[in-house]
Amino acid sequence: MRQLPRNFITILVLLSASILAHGQFQEPTAEELHMTSDPKAPGASAIYLYLEEKTDDAVHFHSYYARITYHLPSGVKLDTLPHDPKSEWTSRIGLSMKVSSAADAVTVKRTFVRTSALLDPSLYGNLRYIYQQISAADQQQIVLSRVDNAAGN
């Protein structure tokens, strides 16, 4: 009887680790990369191309996956993209992010997975550290600059 929960926990940990390892990232289609607007959100500078959230409270599992495209305004160029961070803490909490660009858009794919809600208080420092890493990753900036049209004059 004691072996069943241990096997279940092992399977859950391996499942969550494989989700983070593969990042479950879906590449945007060519049509998505060239979208300049969304009829559902006219004038929006960013569009959620895909959003998925899964929760199973019985096993303390939570995952969140988002694919967002930011459309660059005309007259600007992309200077710097955020790096692709990957943070994981003992297969309990993890973040994986991938940032890519096209001529007039930047796409961010982000996965967050939590497989444990109950922690011993001695682990709170580790928990705080991983959430600080995740917060820092989420606060990275996309740097743009104006295109100088007067260069030829």
**Alpha-carbon gap, residue 82 to 32, rounded angstroms:** 21
Among 34-38, 51-55, 73-77, the least confident range: 34-38
Q: Is the pLDDT of residue 22 over 60?
A: no
Q: Which of these, 115, 128, 9, 119, lies nearest to 63 by C-alpha position?
A: 115
At 15 the three-state DSSP class reads helix
Question: What is the CATH T-level fold of the domain 3-147, as seen in this structure?
Answer: Jelly Rolls (2.60.120)
**Alpha-carbon gap, residue 80 to 112, rounded angstroms:** 24
Whether pTM exceeds 0.85? no
At 70 the three-state DSSP class reads strand
Query: What is the model's pLDDT at position 58?
Result: 82
* Domains in the chain: boundaries: 3-147
Query: What is the model's pLDDT at position 24?
Result: 52
Amino acid identity, residue 30?
A
